[in-house]
Amino acid sequence: MKNKAQASVGLIVIVAITLIVGVILFQAVAQQVGDSTNLVYLTNYSMGTINNGSTYYFADYKSLSDVSVYNTSSATVIEAGNYTVTNNVINPSTGALTASLKPLPNYMTSRTLSINATAQPTGYISDSGGRAIAGIIILLFAIAVAIVAISPTLRSGIMDMVK
């Protein structure tokens, strides 16, 4: 009887440790998947002062869509023909994949600009299939943690008593 009780306590300790580690890993992985599958909406994102003809690189975003640029000081919208947004370019100073905005030469002389846009963070999964698989991985991980939690109950024979 003593050996069976020791085995049960050992099983409970192992399951408890496994569940604690599993829940901690689940939370970390789920947050990372959320960052990799969700778009970001930039509102009044300040780019600071852009000098004539210089390119601004967005450090945290690799792609922008639905972009509207405006002059912060006068709150006037700058027409789309006066700047170029390029997605998935290499930032020459950091080597990272980013989006860039370049005003036309001789149009914006030292203006403080802000933008509104929909952005893809640098870790965003561009492929829709990849985003779906990332969600399924989280679901399967949650099922695995649940099975670990339920397995000692199924092994102990409590379910046989219910029949």
CA distances from 131 to 33, 35, 44, 134 (A): 8, 11, 28, 5
> Residue 67 contacts by C-beta under 8 Å, 6 or more apart in sequence?
80, 85, 101, 115, 116, 117
pTM exceeding 0.85: no
Identify the pLDDT of residue 108. Answer: 63
Identify the pLDDT of residue 5. Answer: 58
> What stretches in the chain show pLDDT beneath 50?
1
Identify the pLDDT of residue 163. Answer: 62
Angle between helices 2-37 and 128-156 (to 10 degrees): 170
Q: Are 129 and 7 in contact (CB under 8 A)?
A: no
Identify the pLDDT of residue 153. Answer: 72
As a whole-number percent, the residues of the chain with pLDDT over 90 amount to 18
- Sequence length of the chain is 163
Identify the pLDDT of residue 131. Answer: 86
Identify the pLDDT of residue 127. Answer: 85
Q: Are 131 and 96 in contact (CB under 8 A)?
A: no
Quick one: 108 exposed, middle or buried, by C-beta within 10 A (0-12, 13-18, 19+)?
A: buried
Identify the pLDDT of residue 99. Answer: 92
Identify the pLDDT of residue 1. Answer: 47
Structure tokens at 109: 């002389």
